[in-house]
Amino acid sequence: MEIHIGERVADVTLVSKEGNKVQLTIDGVPYDVDIVMAENGSCSILHNGKSYNAELIRKEGGKSYTVNAHYQSYNIDIIDSQAKYLRMRKGAEEKQEDKIVSPMPGKVVKIPVKVGDRLQAGDIVVVIEAMKMQSNYKVSSDCVVKDILVNEGDSVNSNQVIMTLDVINNEQD
């Protein structure tokens, strides 16, 4: 996921979470932290033997916070990668591209199509799981599956091509 901290943009990936122990990467750098949340929005973070305290104040909409730590306040915005991808694609919604690209890193859970399948607008072509949430990706125009470049169970990166398509042009000359 993309997180904006003031003017800084960070790519944060949750690797695993077991109880209070969290493994994550920030801009590709791995971190192991122990996070304890209190009901009042404050949290205690233990990293490399050092303890940090922070107060989280949720803003309207639920994806923005003010974080008070080290006598400073930080504005944090969590950008939902899938929503951002869909907003970027909305302008081109009517015209299907010749490929399906993963909008975020994740695991391919299901590919309900095979090479040669003729698809109609709205058909699901891949299901990707990221951070324990599954997302269905659909085609926006009639097309035929040309090539599938991943298998179920594979991990994919953001912007990785998952499959190629032959778009069917329904316009009459």
Q: What sign has the CA pseudo-torsion 31, 32, 38, 44?
A: negative
Structure tokens at 56: 């989280």
How many whole angstroms separate alpha carbon 170 and alpha carbon 166?
12
| Three-state secondary-structure class, residue 54 | strand
Q: What is the pLDDT of residue 112?
A: 94
Q: What is the pLDDT along the chain (173 residues), one digit of tens a residue?
A: 778 887 788 888 888 888 899 998 888 899 999 999 887 789 999 999 999 899 988 887 667 888 898 888 888 888 765 555 555 555 444 456 788 888 778 899 999 999 999 998 888 899 888 877 788 888 888 899 999 999 999 999 888 899 999 988 765 44
Q: Which residues contact 62 (CB under 8 A, 6 or more apart)?
A: none
Residues listed for the chain: 173
Q: Indicate the pTM of the whole model.
A: 0.47
Determine the Cα–Cα distance for residues 152 and 48; give it in Å rounded to an integer. 37
Alpha-helical runs (H) found in 36-150: 81-90
Which two structure tokens, joined as six digits, stand for 58? 């949720």
- Residue 24 Cα to chain centre, angstroms: 14
